[in-house]
Amino acid sequence: MASADMTNSRILIVGGSSGMGLALAKQAIAAGAEVIIVGRNEDKLRHARAELQSSALSTVALDITQEAQVADLFGRIEGLDHIVSTAADIEGAYELLPSLDLKAAQRVVESKFYGPLLLAKHGAPKLASTGSITFTSGIAAYRPSARGSVVAAVNAALEGLVRALAVELAPIRVNVVSPGWVDTPIWTFVAGDKKDETLDAMAKRLPVGRIGQPEDIAKAIGYLMGNGFTTGTTLHVEGGHRLI
Ligand SMILES: NC(=O)c1ccc[n+]([C@@H]2O[C@H](COP(=O)([O-])OP(=O)(O)OC[C@H]3O[C@@H](n4cnc5c(N)ncnc54)[C@H](OP(=O)(O)O)[C@@H]3O)[C@@H](O)[C@H]2O)c1
């Protein structure tokens, strides 16, 4: 279903050079979409191009926390069907309060809240009226851990933003996917060399008995893009994490 809906569509994926965004880019291209992926780091974009090997893919290096860069991007783009952001810069932000660096906390807010806000501001005028915007929050808003206060707060704020944007930008649909624990490169910043043992322990606790894969979240975003009757919604894709 999601695949058919993506055929011949044009999708901008911020964060498409890694993790969930990269998995979405792969699924969208396989379904016949044209995909533009955005990230800050040229090396990551180069790796994504090498992995996806598709003439339907283009990449743009920019930082979505910088309004001039976001405005310039949309100044050069016409005819989009969907905008997605899986961007997050959480480096240094998973700390207990005494060690929390305010600059790292601000980078989380900028990448997960203000960046998406700027994408909506400058990107909505470029979207088809049947189009959609999808952002990415996360389980930390519902099952916070010590060290995760800033991420928890930003995820919750983003969900409120999405409900308001769904009203303001209608008929464009605006949704947010809330992932549980998913095996992606972001875990380096959360658990460092304890990544594998941390994810294994959670897999045993979850009702589904496993950690999420980037493809699980990509499919959920595909659903949000394709279902024309879904807006202002938080879609939880977390293996039952909120039940434990
Ligand atoms: N993985 C999990 O277990 C989990 C759980 C709950 C929620 N989430 C959320 O899910 C989303 C996707 O996570 P992921 O695990 O796929 O992360 P990831 O693998 O680290 O990918 C993050 C992507 O965002 C890009 N990015 C970061 N800051 C950016 C900025 N300012 N401007 C443009 N691009 C930027 C990164 O590229 P550059 O660094 O090159 O910019 C990268 O492509 C995030 O919002 C994360 O908080 C993840």
Residue 242 lies in a domain: no
Residue 220 lies in a domain: yes
Q: What CATH number should be reported for the domain holding residue 129?
A: 3.40.50.720
Strand pairing report for 234-237 and 173-179: parallel
Residues in the ligand 1 pocket, defined by CB under 6 Å = 14-15, 17-21, 38-41, 44, 63-65, 86-89, 111-112, 115, 136, 138-139, 179, 181-182, 184-186
Instruction: Report the pLDDT averaged over residues 85-95.
Output: 95
Q: Give 138's Cβ-side CA count (13 Å radius).
A: 24
Residue 19 lies in a domain: yes
Confidence grade of residue 205 (pLDDT, cut at 50, 70, 90): very high
Residue 213 lies in a domain: yes
CB within 8 A of 238, min separation 6: which ones? 139, 178, 179, 180, 181, 212
Q: Which two tokens stand for residue 143?
A: 């099952």
Residue 241 lies in a domain: no
Contact of 52 with 29, CB cutoff 8 Å:
yes
Q: For the packed helices 19-30 and 214-226, what is the interaxial angle rounded to 10 degrees? A: 60
Domain that holds residue 127: 3-236
Order of strands across the sheet that contains 127-136: 57-61, 34-39, 10-14, 80-85, 127-136, 173-179, 234-237
Residue 180 lies in a domain: yes
Confidence grade of residue 203 (pLDDT, cut at 50, 70, 90): very high
pLDDT of 19: 98
Residue 244 lies in a domain: no
Question: Is residue 3 over pLDDT 60?
Answer: no
The CA 136 to ligand 1 mean position distance, Å, reads: 9
pLDDT of 6: 83
Residue 243 lies in a domain: no
What is the total count of domains within the chain?
1
